[in-house]
Amino acid sequence: MGRMNMDQATALTGRTLNALSLVSPRLAGEATYRLFRLPLKRAAPREEERRLIDRAHIEKVRVDGETALTYRWGSGERPVLLAHGWQSRGTCFARFVPGLLAAGYSPVAYDAPAHGDATGSTTHVLAFREVISHLAAEHGEFEAVISHSAGVMASVLALRSGVAARRLVAISQVGEFTFLFDQFCGRLALRTRLREELRQRMEDRVFPGEKDIWQRFSTTYEPSGVTVPILILHDEDDRMAGVDQARRMAEVFGDQARLVTTRGLGHRRILDDPGVVEATLEFVTAPHSGP
């Protein structure tokens, strides 16, 4: 019943915005933009994540006018970045940390603005990238970047921008920058004119001065800018981000990437799967064959 009520409320909201757009496109566009920017649902830490937080070295960093948190476990040597996704938190990689520590690595994570225990109610992918760039400036080259969901997009943007890493793991990636936008518009069944009003506000207010954001921020854009080996992990039953996004990335990067698919894990539970954790650790710890 709760899901039915939620779906009915979403449909009613979409119909109301569409009707308003017939009378005043600008007013409807503003209302839609504010709805799109409403505070995110935050992931609460599970008990194992709370224990991990208690063991972490935690620092604060100012990003996009907000305070993000960074976490580090281990000595700081051989850092491995853990890049969380949308509506998630740095400790979502709790199952990966023990194995990385046992292998002599220092896991490094963060809560981006509006996520986890960071401040803020709204954020965007460039804020994610800024946190990653800050950690890179502090820790130097990462032995690997293990990323999930929209964290994959942020990680690829960071690597293209000069952040150094020796490997990239892309789990349940949201690889296309248009994905969240299209998902939002599709859920509300917004009219084309209203979609364009929202798109224009995103370009003008969230990313002013940025060119061609809808293509340039995607993981498959200019693959020559990311030269590291890539392990792509995605569940066939992921309802949040379809496996076709992973397949496109694998195709674009060719021999540089390896795609591994699972079944029955979905978008988030894949991070808790022992087989996924094991495959990731094997990839991260394998002898480096590059220069």
Overall size of the chain counted in residues: 291
Q: pLDDT of 79-124, one tens digit each? A: 999 999 988 999 999 999 999 999 999 999 999 999 999 998 888 8
Per the rule left: phi > 0, alpha: psi between -120 and 50, beta: everything else, 102 is alpha
Is the four-CA dihedral 237, 241, 242, 247 of positive or negative sign?
A: negative
Q: Average pLDDT, stretch 127-131?
A: 94
Q: Which neighbouring-strand residues pair with 151? A: none
What architecture (CATH level 2) is domain 47-176+217-285?
3-Layer(aba) Sandwich (3.40)
* Model confidence at 6: pLDDT above 60: no
Do residues 264 and 235 touch, judged by C-beta distance below 8 A? yes
Distance CA 144, CA 10 (A): 40
DSSP classification of residue 142: B
Residue 163 CB neighbours (<10 A): 20
Distance CA 50, CA 44 (A): 10
Q: Closest Cα partner for 193 from 21, 13, 23, 27?
A: 21
* Model confidence at 10: pLDDT above 80: no
Q: Average pLDDT, stretch 55-74?
A: 95
Domain with CATH 3.40.50.1820 in the chain: 47-176+217-285
pTM of the model: 0.89
Q: Average pLDDT, stretch 154-172?
A: 97
Q: Closest Cα partner for 125 from 161, 91, 96, 99?
A: 161
- 13 or 10: which carries more pLDDT confidence? 13
Q: E strands within the chain?
A: 57-63, 66-72, 79-83, 106-111, 144-148, 168-171, 230-235, 257-262
* Model confidence at 20: pLDDT above 50: yes
